[in-house]
Structure formats: C-alpha cells, structure tokens
Amino acid sequence: MAPSLHLESFTGVGLGLRHPHFAAVARDNPGVPFWEIAPENVMGDGGRDHDQVCRILERDPVVTHGLSLSVGGFDPFDDDYLEQLAGFLAFTGSPWHSEHLCFSSVDGTITHELLPMPLTRASVRHTIRRVRELKDRLPVPFILENITYYAELGEKELAEPEFLGEILEGADVGWLLDINNVYVNSLNFGFEPKDWLLRVPLDRVVQMHIAGHERVGDLTLDSHGAPVIDPVIELMQWVLPRIGRPVPVLLERDNDIPCLATLLAERAAIQEAYDAVMAVPVRHG
Amino acid sequence: MGEESVLALQRTLVDAALMADPGALERDPAGLAAAHGLAGGDQSAFLRFRLRLMVYRNMVRSDLIEPVETTCFVTQALMEGAGLWDECLTAFLAGRTMQSPFYRDLPAAFLGWLAATGWGQDRWPFLLQLVHCELLSGLVTHHPGGDPMEPSQAHPRLSDRLVLAAPTQLVTYGYQVHRVSREAPIPAPGTVHLIAYRDAGGVAQWMELTPATAALLLAAQRTGIGQAALDLGLSDLSEAIELLADFQARGAIQGFG
C-alpha cells in the first residue's frame, strides 16, 4: 500500500510549466489546477524570467519533478544539489518530489538523458537502497516515475512490471505512473498496455503523467513534442477507475511547445476525459 | 549477479554514447560489452539491441550538444568554416567534463574544456575570448544575484565607493569578439573593454568602454570615486560623476556608499 498522499488541492489535470509561458502565466493566472516544474530549471537561476516563475510558484499549487538525480546510478548524491532542492521544495510547498526510475550519470559524467536500468534483481536491490536514501534525505515524500526505454540494458531477469513493482514495494514509495510511457513501451516492445497495467501495484500511484509521442522509423519516441493521442487518453480513462482515487494527471509538453492557449485547450480536453471517468463508479478487473 | 554488473552495464552504455568512435557499438556491440567485463547474456543483449543503443548514443549526444550550439553559434560557424566543429564536439563529449546537474551549465562546461585542453587555440588564439563573449549575455541575464536592489546612496559623491550591480560584468578582451557574427566569425585583434549589465527590463545589455572609463569603474570600487579619478589623472571630475550616474540609471551600478 502506498503512503497516503492524496491532497484535495492536487487533483484533476495540471500542466507542465515551461519557459515560453512564464510571462503569460504569471500575468494571466489561467486557472490551471496545479503546475509541475523541474527544480533544475529554477534553482540557481536569476533574472526576469526567474522572477516570473517564482511568482507563479508562490501563487499556485505546484508539484516538483526532477531530472538529474540519477536515482539508479552509482555516483553519490550531490549534497549541494540536495540542499538546494530541499530549499526549493520548501519554497514551492510541493507535496511530493518525483524523479525517474533510471540512471543518468556514471563516474561523475552527467548525460542529461534518462537511461534505462538493467532489469535484474541486482538492479532492484541497488535501486531500493538508493531510493531509501533519498526518502531519508528529502523533506517531502519521494515518488518514482516509470520511464520510456528503447533497449534492454543487458540480459533481462525480470519483466518491467515485476521490476517496477519490486522497487516500489521494496523501497515503499509512491508511483508517478506515466501512461504515455507505458503506451510507447508497448509499441516498441510489442505488449498489451492494459495487461501490463494489471501486473503493477496501482495502489501506489500518487500522480500520473500524460504526453505526446512521435514515430521515427520503426521506433516510437517519447518526444513530448506532439498532442496526446486518443488511445493514450483512453488508457488514462481505463486506469483511473482501477486506481480508485482522483490522482492528479499532469500534461507534459517539452518540444515544439505551442502557444499557451493551445496547451490550455488540450489540458481542458483531457480534464473533460478525466472528469467523465471519475464521475462513474469504480470498477475493477 | 552482483551489483557490480549493474555498474558495468551503465558504464558500457555511457561509454558507447560518449566515445569518439561509434565503430565498436556499430560493428561489434558484443565485443564492446565483453571489453567492459560483461558476460555472455549481456553481450547478446548488446548485439540484439545494437540499433536501439545507437539511438541512445544519438539522443545523449544531441542533448549535450544542443545548448552549446544555441549559445556558441558564432564559434560553431567559425569551426564549421574549417570543417572542425564536429571534431571539436566529439572531443568535448569524450572529455566528459559535463558534471553539473544543471543543463544550462553545459556551455560553461564547453568553455572550461576548451581552456583546460587548449583545443583549437593554436589555430584560433582568440577562441577562449570568443566563447566567453558568447556566454556573457547568458551569464548576465541569468545571474542569480542583484534582485532586489539593496538600498544605497542614490547620487555619487567623490568620497563614495562604487558598487556594481551583481549581474554586471566588466571584461577586457584582446580581440573584437563582440563584433563578430555567423557570417564574419573571425574577430579583429585589438583590446576592447566592455561592461555587460542587466537593464531594468531584465535584458542583458553591453557597452564598449574607453580604457579610462574601464579603469575608473574598476578603481572606484576599491578606492572611492575621487581617489580613483585622481590616480587616473582625470581632470574633469564632474564628467566622471555624470558618467557613473548614467551607469546607475541603466542598472549597471547598484549604488554608491
């Protein structure tokens, strides 16, 4: 069972707060239920744009989503970074902090890419230990996100649902379920996403991500550079009742970012889909 | 299987992404895995996913290069003109100096790598100054200090010391690196003094300074305005005071005290 993290102020469909929209959001307050921000894009920065985003973070509900902790890596966690992060979490009042179930650095070199963990028992043990350390060192609950991956790193001992489930249970952490990542992985590895979702501990879901993807050659890339397609929205609608709680869903867009009005319209459409399914009785199976 | 195997797998993937020659991954991925001490099953996985591991190589390299190219576009044009940009980036990535968790620090890592290795400086002795000048606007725009302004003496007196605004940078280059462009990326030799500052709208601005003004701005921070003017032999102090007041109005000087 996941830690109880449901908060009334964090439900519905939020929006990733991105640089091109800082000024408009700070000025217009478009009434999005909550925002998500990457601390790395704010911490240690300054200037006009920084002031604008800080005004939003002070004014509106915000959750934080990190990019560079390298949760599954072997480099020691950066003390300075964690200290800054703790201050940032206090400043935003974020109810939890999420990061990716991946590694991104080796021997001090930071790749700024979300690289896949080996699907092995040793990898599970190592990641559980790292997540427990982060739980101890962060001032808010820590949750993990399942990533898109394009290749298995080494010989696989566990299927991804079991790998993910063992880490979530072993480290006793909440889950940021990225429904688009499940969908993209299903295309690239040829599985049925609903079957996958029936094999993972949905009671640990604290938050969801939804995003667009693109086909490049014979691979589907988690580009966050296109509108969310209907099958992904339908998968969100399928899983929400099975989670059984109105967990917040966050619309991500990181590339080919459209104007704020376009993103707000997409958010509203996903909110409508969210409301429609949350209004009906919870079903299982 | 122990956790050392997890680290070995991670090292292999990052090596495959950052090593200068992709040949080992393209032609013999199993051999690459074996060279990292990985066992047969892992070697087979590298062989099976060879093409997708190349996707990772491309993604990592693209991510790391993008902010460098966005910031250092004149340097890019300079080196592309000589057919050396890709070679430079390849050497930069292989040098593995990307050690900041902040993506915006990658151009500074590039400059640091150039300085540490001397890469390209035989051919382009102005290279470090060019790249520094390309970073200057971002340094000023994103400087974390200086907001809000501290209360200070509003009008300069001769006994006052000058306090620059935190984002303000005084720089001296030996080449006219502030006048280059993509089309004309080679700077003329010649000393130039610049003040780069953040204006009231938060936008980075720069001005070329005379040697005397640059010296006054430096000395007046240490000795006070009057003494600095005296030491520099400036005869018209009212002109110096007026100049400093103008810099304050622009946002380059925080105050006097």
**Domain coordinates of chain A in residue numbers?**
13-278
A87 near B CB under 8 A: no
Residue in A43, A121, A155 nearest the CB of B42: A155
Q: Residue A157: phi, psi to the nearest 5?
A: -105, -25
Cβ B142–A157 below 8 Å, yes or no? no
Q: Inform me whether the pLDDT recorded for A285 exceeds 60.
A: no
Reading the block at residue A195, the tokens are 């079957």
Q: What number of C-beta contacts closer than 8 Å exist between A and B?
A: 139
Q: Which fold has domain A13-278?
A: TIM Barrel (3.20.20)
Give residue-wise pLDDT tens across range B144-177: 986 544 545 667 888 889 999 999 999 999 999 9
Give residue-wise pLDDT tens across range A100-157: 999 999 999 999 999 999 999 999 999 999 999 999 999 999 999 999 999 999 999 9
Instruction: Tell me the mean pLDDT in the region A146-170.
Output: 98
B136 near A CB under 8 A: no
Which residue, among A201, A56, A151, A191, has the nearest Cα to B46 in the 3D structure? Answer: A151
What pLDDT is recorded for position B151?
A: 45
CB-CB neighbors (< 8 A) of B60 in chain A: 111-113, 115
- Predicted TM-score (pTM) of the model is 0.94
In CATH terms, B162-256 corresponds, of 2.60.40, 3.30.2010, 3.10.450, 3.90.930, to 3.90.930
- Cβ burial of A246 (10 Å; 0-12, 13-18, 19+) is middle
CA distance A229 to A236: 11
**Domain coordinates of chain B in residue numbers?**
3-124, 162-256
Minimum distance, in Å, between the CA of residue B199 and any CA atom of chain A: 10
- Coarse DSSP helix, strand, coil percentages of chain A, rounded to the nearest 5 percent: 40, 20, 40
Q: Inform me whether the pLDDT recorded for B182 exceeds 80.
A: yes
Residue B257 burial (CB count, 10 A)? 14
**Chain A residue whose CA is closest to B197:** A47
Residue with tokens 């080196």: B79
Interface of A with B in 111-150 (CB under 8 A): 111-113, 115, 117-118, 120-123, 125-126, 150
Residue in A44, A111, A219 nearest the CB of B60: A111
CA distance A255 to A113: 15
Give residue-wise pLDDT tens across range A46-67: 999 999 999 999 999 999 999 9
Interface of B with A in 56-95 (CB under 8 A): 56, 59-60, 63-64
